[in-house]
Amino acid sequence: MAMDVDTRRAGLRRWAGLALAAGTWLVLYRFNQPFWDWLIYDVLGLSPQSAEGSALHFFGYDVAKIGLLLVGIIFAVTVLRSFMSIERTRALLGGRREGVGNVMAAGLGVITPFCSCSAVPAFIGFVAAGVPIGVTMSFLIASPLVNEIAIGLLLGMFGVGPTLLYVAAGLTIAIVAGWILGRFHAERWVEPFVFETRLRGQVIDSTAGLTWDDRIAMGRDEVVTILRKIWPYLLVGIGVGAIIHGWVPTDFFATYASASNPLGVIVAVGLGVPLYSNAAGVMPLVQSLYGAGLPMGTLLAFMMSVVALSLPEMILLRRVLKPQLIAAFIAVVATGIIIVGYSFNLLLT
């Protein structure tokens, strides 16, 4: 009986703690704007019309806002994702035909917890379970391209419309690119040892037997890990925005990078490929540039190329994929992103 009371008390403490944290978050989020109005305009006495005033206000307000969004979203997403596992995803995809398989793989890529550092073991694990190469590629493309953290941030910063467009475009790229790579008979460009890898031992489900306390601890750990990794991107991205906000003439970008500039999207993708960050790291810069008047299609193309095509991941994948397949992968995905960028610029103007 004593045990029973103890577990109940622990449960109460856990949920009360979580509710308290959520309440604090909401209060901070709600009073972010008034706080910076008060600090910059009243205490420091800067005018909202002055370059320094508007730049400082932009910087403080946005760092706090995006920081809060990140904490909330990463925590919620990690806890929710702890109910899904890559082992379950593989079981769902095993023996699935191309076509339907590509669609499922792209969708599962969004919700399965996955880090690009596991791309190679996951690739081998999928292929060993009989998942076709093209379907596996759909999964590997969708996973970084459309992740829930990006979705949450887009919702918080740009609203429902751009978010839905982004998700639809990302899924389409993953499905079509994976399908095309499958048509190429990409098997011949996979290192032969992959097909010979025999799995020893029993596969264990990485999320089996987790308690609520485990899931909450995972969420907290993930918030710390990601924020520790991306805080310089956050400050630089918003810093750029603040400088643009205060000092760059508003028609500067409109003149050089408007939607009607035929090279805009291609330049954005070209700049994005060598840069590597996750969605959480690149979003602050995207928001800053959007505020400066850059078109949404160009920005989403930039963001997609940063998250989906990265040199470090290609080097990792080189372990299992021959250069031909890596080249085809980059070409197909980059083409998809460029098409998406131009169509968005057309649709949204």
Partner 1 sequence: MKIKILGPGCANCQRLEERTKEAVEALGLDVNLEKVTDAAEIASYGIMRTPGLVVDDTVVVAGQVPSTREISDLLKN
Which stretches of the chain bind partner 1, using CB under 8 A? 85-87, 90, 113-115, 117-118, 120-126, 128, 193-194, 197-204, 206-207, 210, 217-218, 221, 225, 229, 316, 319-320
- Shortest reach from residue 114's CB to partner 1, in Å: 7
Beta bridge partners of 321: 190
Q: Which is nearer to partner 1, 18 or 128 (CB)?
A: 128
Q: Which is nearer to partner 1, 114 or 329 (CB)?
A: 114
Q: Which is nearer to partner 1, 61 or 126 (CB)?
A: 126
Q: Which is nearer to partner 1, 203 or 271 (CB)?
A: 203
- Shortest reach from residue 193's CB to partner 1, in Å: 6
Q: How far apart are CA 331 and CA 322, in angstroms?
A: 14
List of E strands, the chain: none
Torsion sign, CA atoms 68, 72, 73, 75: positive
Q: Which is nearer to partner 1, 206 or 250 (CB)?
A: 206
Residue type for position 22 = A
- Shortest reach from residue 63's CB to partner 1, in Å: 23
Residue type for position 53 = G
Q: Which long-range contacts (CB under 8 A, 24 or more apart) does 33-36 make?
A: 33/61, 35/64, 36/60, 36/61, 36/64
Q: How far apart are CA 10 and CA 26, in angstroms?
A: 24
Q: Which is nearer to partner 1, 68 or 128 (CB)?
A: 128
Name the one residue in this structure whose structure tokens are 């690149």: 282
Beta bridge partners of 190: 321
Side-chain-side CA neighbours of residue 307 (13 Å): 25
Side-chain-side CA neighbours of residue 192 (13 Å): 0
- Shortest reach from residue 344's CB to partner 1, in Å: 33
- Shortest reach from residue 84's CB to partner 1, in Å: 11
- Shortest reach from residue 79's CB to partner 1, in Å: 13
